[in-house]
Amino acid sequence: MASLPISFLLTLCLFVIPSLSSDSDPLQDFCVGDLKASPSINGFPCKSSVSAADFFFSGLAVPLNTSNRNGVAVAAANVLTFPGLNTLGLSMNNVEFAPGGVNPPHSHPRATEAGVVIEGSVFVGFLTTNNTLFSKVIHAGEMFVVPRGLVHFQWNVGKGKARLITSFNSQLPGSAVLPTTLFGSMPEIPNAVLTKTFRTDDATVNNLKSKFAV
């Protein structure tokens, strides 16, 4: 078998190596995002003048209101709320749960998620692309990881409230929440698609859409 040309192997490496990370590597010490400017392909243009305040954020310390249908609330520290993260390839969330609260099945298309339980007991699970569920109840001080793009959820199974701090290897990981995506999209997904997909009828689909209407 003939060996591959060195030039081909070098070209292959140039394409493969960048794919191992999430966001692109920064080319300077920092680039505090100018949110008033139009976004570039990857992030925001840099502010022309920065101060110490650009590198600190207190938004994860604010108590959250979990009195909603899912019993969960999220405070995000990403480039849109904390512009100092611009080009740095990371972000964090504070996630708080009422007793029995559920962070519904969702995915982050641009990031792997790692999290630690700060308070309570949380049932954490994710699904692989061959429909295998990996799950466990974890407690304060314990950690979990969800590979990039996989569907996952969290459920407060303790008697009191629960809290997670999660981190992502993207300044803006994105979140596709399955129930809202499928039944609350605008424009709507045609009923014919959903009835066929879920093997149900129009009445059931319309009922679900009414629960997730914007």
Binding residue ranges: 93, 103, 106, 108, 113, 152
Q: Please answer whether residues 208 and 183 qualify as being in contact, where contact means their C-beta atoms are separated by less than 8 angstroms.
A: yes
Residue ranges for the binding site for oxalate? Answer: 93, 103, 108, 113
**What DSSP state is assigned to residue 79?**
T
**Hey, what are 75's tokens?**
């405070």
SS3 152: strand
Burial of 208 (0-12, 13-18, 19+ CB in 10 A): middle
How many CB atoms within 10 Å of residue 26? 13
Element holding 7 (H helix, E strand): helix 6-16
How many CB atoms within 10 Å of residue 169? 18
Which letter, b or e, does each residue of 51-87 get, where b requires 16 or more Cβ atoms within 10 Å of its Cβ? eeebeeeeebeeebebeeeebbbebbbbbeebbbbbb
Residue ranges for the binding site for Mn(2+)? Answer: 106, 108, 113, 152
